[in-house]
Amino acid sequence: MSETSLSVDDARRIALSAQGLLRSAPFGRGVDAAARAIDQLGYVQIDTISVVNRAHHHVLQSRVPGFRTELYNTLLARKEVFEYWFHAAAYLPLREYRFYLRAMRAARDRWKVDAKTKREVLSAIRAEGPLGSRWFESEGHRSDGWWDWKPAKRALELMYLQGELMVTAREGFQKVYDLTERALPDDLDTSQPSDDEWGEYLVGRMVRAQGLVSRRDILHLKQGARHLYPEDINAPVDRALTSLCEAGDLVAVRAMDDTWYTTQASLDALPLRASRKRVRFLSPFDNAIINRRRTQKLFDFDYTLECYVPEAKRQYGYFCLPMLLGTSLIGRMDAKADRKRRTLILRNLVLDEGVDAARVAAPLGLGLREFAESVDCDALSFERLPAGLEGLNPAL
């Protein structure tokens, strides 16, 4: 069967629509919108870097206007999301919990928890209720003599990875743990998926979240957690692609000299409108760009997070945020949020070759003002701007 040809622009529109980045507030506002966003994206990566904003805050603030960080605890309490590993630590839709059971099994096979420490940790949580890691750290509890902090912390983390404990809240960035048997809803399906079910989940999840994907895209995001996904997933993924295409659930299309998989519904929705009213500043860990090879192919945008690059070799800056306007990534901004002065400092802003500064000045200004407000800054400070943007107004 011949494959439908798809233009680069239509491919981008399908991808950005699935990612909630094609129009303003696609999921709505408030806690229900946050739940819908996570359900659509499949995961939101948790990261500690807070130069501008932590990734799990930034990603939802890019899609849910007015998103507040405390809503994650609300979603955990409502049992709509859970914490576990995707390719990295992440918030995940709880209804997909059973597809992470094989990772928990792999963790049990790989790591052993000291039996005495495990008994004591479970006993404490069973008796006291959900406990934060600080409880195990405090002098009053260490004085009993059965632990010091390091083995207790190791036990908590391993029992979380192995599925015996779940994170039910965060206090600041500290996890609060409870017994899995108490944290999971009684009616949740916890049956172990077969290999074919898992393969169809991986394919379907990626297509839903990304709009259209190549085979290589589907396999990519498990690379960061191979210790939890040691099995060869090529065969289940290939069987799933074949069966889903034969059933008409997926459609193979040709774009950018590659085969991509999408749905007929996504193709029927074309043409999709893309707002060019404001520039969006994406987190380096945003779901839409986390796969750098895909980002290069789909958006012709070569991106590296340079905080991991020696300073002398950095080209653009320590923590550059890709800038999205319409269906194009138009440049990058190196920024820092000075929270004491409530000022967003623009250390460097670079437009890609061929981008007309005069034409993007207005949406860039609007995007900057909204982004600054989202990270609790009420002032802008410019250190370096490209030619044509010298008149950009720093006032909010």
Residue 388 backbone zone (phi > 0: left; psi -120 to 50: alpha; other: beta): left
Tokens 């030619």 belong to residue: 387
The pLDDT score that the predictor gives to residue 332 is: 97
The DSSP 8-state label assigned to residue 191 in this structure reads: P
Contact present, 346 and 380 (Cβ < 8 Å)? yes
The DSSP secondary structure of 305-322, one letter per residue, reads: -GGGS-GGG-SS-TTEEE
Q: Beta 328-338 vs 343-351: how paired, if at all?
A: antiparallel
Domain architecture of the chain: domains with CATH: 8-99+198-269 (no CATH), 108-183 (1.10.10), 280-382 (3.40.630)
The pLDDT score that the predictor gives to residue 136 is: 78
Contact present, 10 and 253 (Cβ < 8 Å)? no
Tokens 């259209």 belong to residue: 212
Spatial distance between the Cα atoms of 396 and 394, rounded to a whole number of angstroms = 6
Q: Phi and psi dihedrals of 335, rounded to 5?
A: -140, 165
The pLDDT score that the predictor gives to residue 172 is: 85
pLDDT tens track of the chain, all 396 residues? Answer: 567 899 999 999 999 999 999 999 999 999 999 999 999 999 999 999 999 999 999 999 999 999 999 999 999 999 999 999 998 899 999 999 999 999 999 999 999 999 999 999 999 999 999 998 778 765 454 434 434 457 888 899 999 999 999 999 999 888 999 999 999 999 999 999 999 999 999 999 999 999 999 999 999 866 656 777 778 889 999 999 999 999 999 999 999 999 999 999 999 999 999 989 999 999 999 999 999 999 999 999 999 999 999 999 999 999 999 999 999 999 999 999 999 999 999 999 999 999 999 999 999 999 999 999 999 999 999 998 888 887 786 665
| The pair of three-digit structure tokens given for residue 124, joined into one six-digit string | 């404490």
pTM to 2 decimal places:
0.93
The DSSP 8-state label assigned to residue 277 in this structure reads: S
Bridge partner residues of 77 (DSSP): none
Cβ–Cβ contacts within 10 Å for residue 82, how many? 23
Run of H or E residues at 207: helix 195-210
In terms of C-beta density within 10 A (0-12 exposed, 13-18 middle, 19 or more buried), how is residue 393 classed?
exposed
